[in-house]
Structure 1
C-alpha cells in the first residue's frame, strides 16, 4: 500500500508544520535565532545576550533548534570544551522573518499601548 504525503496545512491537526510553528512561536527560540543571526556564538554568549533565559531553557531550546535543522552545533573536541552555535541556511530564513516580526512589534509598541488603554 502506498501512502501519499500530506499536503502541508498548518491548520490541520496532524500536519508536521504544527511542530515547527510550535517551536518558532515558543518563548525562547525566536530570541535565540535573532541572536544567532549576527554570527557564531558560544553557549554563554547566547545566554548573556538574552535577558531572563535559564541555562536549562537555553540548552533545551538549542537542542530543539538543532533537531529542526535551524541551528548547527559544532563541538571542537577541546578541553576545556568549546562548542559553537550558528544558523543553518534554513535557520537564516527563519531568523530573517522573525527579526522582521520583532522589528514590527517594537515599532508598534505605542499603538499596542494605546489600544490597551481603551
Structure 2
C-alpha cells in the first residue's frame, strides 16, 4: 500500500516550532493550496492543509520559512479524529519528510537572501 502526497502552496502564517519533553523539535505550518480547476464563479478554491515536520527538518523550516513563502511538501497523509461538545472532527495533516523551498525570501521575511546561496541550492533536508 502507498501513502505518498506532494503539495505545492504558500504558507498562511509563520511556522511554529516547539520541542517535546525529550528535546525533539517539531514544526507546524499551514499551506494554502489552490485546486486545479475553477468554480462556477471562475475562481479557484483553496484548501488549507496542516504540515508537520520533525527533527532537523523542523528546525530548518522554522528558521528559513515565513508567511507567504512558496514551498513543496512531500510526505504522508494522516487523518485523526477528535470529539468536542459531542461533535466529531476530522483533522487531516501531512507528515512531511521533505520540504523544498520554491522561492527566495524577501528582506522582510525570515531567512537572509544575501546568505551566499546560489540559484541551484534547493534547501532539501531529509527526514
Q: From the two aligned structures, give the one with the greater strand fraction.
A: 2
Q: If the length of structure 1 is used for normalisation, what is the TM-score?
A: 0.28
The structure having more radius of gyration, on CA atoms, is 1
Higher helix share: 1
